[in-house]
Structure 1
């Protein structure tokens, strides 16, 4: 029953991966910013003292230097809930504190160059460079059972289930299908 539940959750999370990171983070931060109170602030230097009601800690947010005591603001370069609470308290635009790498203008710069058509492959010059050899282990198999796409949990671990025991001979280390005592087609009637 839990495995089916985990598979359902994993199928939902696979779809979430394609959503924009910035929109998800900002939306979550805005919802969490309601529990934060801005006590003291120095608007000229953009330094704020914030207090979160749930953890009862006093933290410092420095918008001018883009730093915060927890370190998330510095590492991710996305306004966290504390930065959004400070911006809401002082009616500042939180979008000013989003790093350029997350903005659509930067994404569009990737595609600003023109793509030249390749033309007929027969007219290309001969390639004179290293030859790459493909790894056969990475090749997709077209026949047989498809690979497992769900995320494994603790229940799927071999250690949790114990060692493999053969039901034919009773020894550990192999299954009934790989048992050395299993009678094959030549062993019938002997």
Structure 2
């Protein structure tokens, strides 16, 4: 059975992080669709995850007293699961219900960005054309692709959760 503090903090911070990520997406949408193909945006989102994770685990450890690796990871995993579901649901509604044209525009921007990046690395034209054709078939903002990305996000952020859990777990008194 999950400790009530772990459950409460996981859910609370999951909702907070989900809202932050959704607001982040809404802000990028409102300011400039080109931000969706900007590399530094991903770095900012990752930094937000790390900061929220540190705050979450510090608070949970302080409230519980002794935080095992399992408890630390469980807390972070609950947060991640809720945040990613909220953020993905928001993106699905935004790009598939509210403004499907934005999904198409961002898809075109991603194709252009990918082609330019591959050219910079000296990729042969045939490989670039293959990559572009594949990207045009699978727009990352379609519902199916966003649901796939949801799974990969959960996996990726779970790895971050494992690292943070190892760092924040309480030291055993038998050591």
Q: Normalising by structure 2, what TM-score?
A: 0.25
Higher helix share: 2
- Which protein has greater RCO, CA pairs closer than 8 Å, 6+ apart? 2
Higher strand share: 1
Question: Which protein has the larger Cα radius of gyration, Structure 1 or Structure 2?
Answer: 1
Q: Normalising by structure 1, what TM-score?
A: 0.23
